Structure 1
């Protein structure tokens, strides 16, 4: 479903390449974030249908989607954003804090190697990849507070060769940066980057940093954040976000973006949304 807005001619989509993992073994068998409740039933078929619609939406928008084979015993492997950070063809892999997810890192590392990515480094610090890293086209915004170690920010700067800005998360519901912030449009030679974020997920100092760096940001509220509205994916014009994020969608449309609303309710039971399922590969 799309929300019509007054499209700004400057909102130009760019073709993206994504890596995704089908939720063939999706389940909520343990608790590693506040959204997970193993006592609540999970419909694996519905999760697959929602994931498939997300994948097919990207393809309809003109993007390339590659898939990695899921592995039994790794129900969160569907959340591919946590598997690596790729900028200019350089790959920084992941190292998970939760032991339940630690084996995922090696499966994704093998995928990158098998697909010709030779400039690949596995981190020595806890680093949950695009869960806590957001590339603006000029800066790597890096979250910490619950999952990724602060020292991983410096490691990312050395490996990827890009400037890193550290941001502190303080609300345990928004344990990854990608649950509270996403990049709407990357910086170009003629325009700064634009982001959307939920201020209350961050420390006071981090809020001041974000306001200074992105004075024109779209600000989300509690309703937007609690439905994972900030766990969105933008190609510079089209913004894929959860069905319930109606008020955020209206604000985006008013800025010239075209919201695309999808149902991710089953995936949200494990603390995931569109971005969690989507790793961007920047060559």
Structure 2
């Protein structure tokens, strides 16, 4: 028989929700330029290994019962595998990216064409933004990152496009240049008006942003720099299963303690381009 103490410390029950994702096979993956601190063109990359690692992530999503769409990779755009940067989708409306660096700007028309062909209400941006790399839906609120890629004006624009409150968070550590490298939303579905559980790396943000996160998400999982540095937070969650880096050992334990089911997938080759599990996964939130 369980003791009262055990009942108090028992992890909450979590529910897996069916998800819909967009991915891109890394057939042209390499690192031949540097637009973030992880990219070292002098270091060799193995495209076949990148494809094999990516395939394990794709297969896992399918095994978990999620729907995965594919966009065709374009030669000359090795970062297209990071589909999270390809847009931000809520209720069947797709806000297209406008990449900061010229090396990625040719991806945007391809993503816009894919969204239109798939029947999404497709919105072309005026402001520099990098899609779900910097925009995360947390309950009813859009968390929006700035400091390295997306600009503050895009935060105003994304709020107007979706008619939702936008919370600006300032990133200050260049290793964590997109919001999805420093925050993971662990509950993609929550009752209206409620906040989901999130995990984040405190050191990736300025003091004001940390205060906002502490106030809005008092029960958040605070992840160590050690786990953040292996892109532990660049993860994907269906509300129960959380796909994370196998090197984020502390975060793995934190997730288990909170009732989640962490599953590890090694994307070490794609980390050479500055991307991980979430970077390779764009959530398609279809209209109800």
Report the RMSD for the aligned CA atoms in angstroms: 1.3
The alignment status of 1:123 with 2:148, answered yes or no, reads no
CA gap 1:194/1:105 in 2 versus in 1, 3 angstroms: same
Q: How far does residue 10 in structure 1 lie from its aligned partner after superposition? A: 2.9
Return the index of the structure with the highest Cα Rg.
2
**Structure 1 runs of 4+ with >6 Å offset:** none
Q: Which residue of 2 aligns with 1:181?
A: 183
Contact 1:7 1:258 in 2 (8 A): no
Secondary structure of the corresponding residue to residue 143 of structure 1? strand
The alignment status of 1:12 with 2:9, answered yes or no, reads no
The alignment status of 1:226 with 2:232, answered yes or no, reads no
**How many aligned residue pairs are there?**
277
Any gaps of 5 or more consecutive residues in structure 2?
Answer: 1-8
CA gap 1:9/1:208 in 2 versus in 1, 3 angstroms: closer
Secondary structure of the corresponding residue to residue 62 of structure 2? helix
Q: How far does residue 133 in structure 1 lie from its aligned partner after superposition? A: 0.4
Q: Which residue of 1 aligns with 2:141?
A: 139
The alignment status of 1:254 with 2:257, answered yes or no, reads yes
- Looking at structure 2, the residues matched to 84 and 36 of structure 1 have their Cα atoms a distance apart, in angstroms, of 22
Which 10-residue stretch deviates more, 8-17 or 95-104?
Answer: 8-17
Q: Which residue of 1 aligns with 2:174?
A: 172
Contact 1:138 1:163 in 2 (8 A): yes
The alignment status of 1:60 with 2:63, answered yes or no, reads yes
Q: TM-score, normalised by structure 1?
A: 0.96
Q: Which residue of 2 aligns with 1:3?
A: none
Q: Which residue of 2 aligns with 1:211?
A: 214
Any residues of structure 2 matched to 1:80-99 within 5 Å, and which?
Answer: 80-99=83-102
Q: Which residue of 2 aligns with 1:155?
A: 157
Contact 2:133 2:180 in 1 (8 A): yes
Q: TM-score, normalised by structure 2?
A: 0.94
- Looking at structure 1, the residues matched to 233 and 47 of structure 2 have their Cα atoms a distance apart, in angstroms, of 24
Contact 1:91 1:160 in 2 (8 A): no
Secondary structure of the corresponding residue to residue 231 of structure 1? coil
- Looking at structure 1, the residues matched to 142 and 272 of structure 2 have their Cα atoms a distance apart, in angstroms, of 28
Q: How far does residue 189 in structure 1 lie from its aligned partner after superposition? A: 4.2
Q: Which residue of 1 aligns with 2:47?
A: 44
Q: How far does residue 161 in structure 1 lie from its aligned partner after superposition? A: 1.4
Contact 2:139 2:193 in 1 (8 A): no
Any gaps of 5 or more consecutive residues in structure 1?
Answer: 1-5
CA gap 1:7/1:63 in 2 versus in 1, 3 angstroms: farther
Q: How far does residue 23 in structure 1 lie from its aligned partner after superposition? A: 0.1
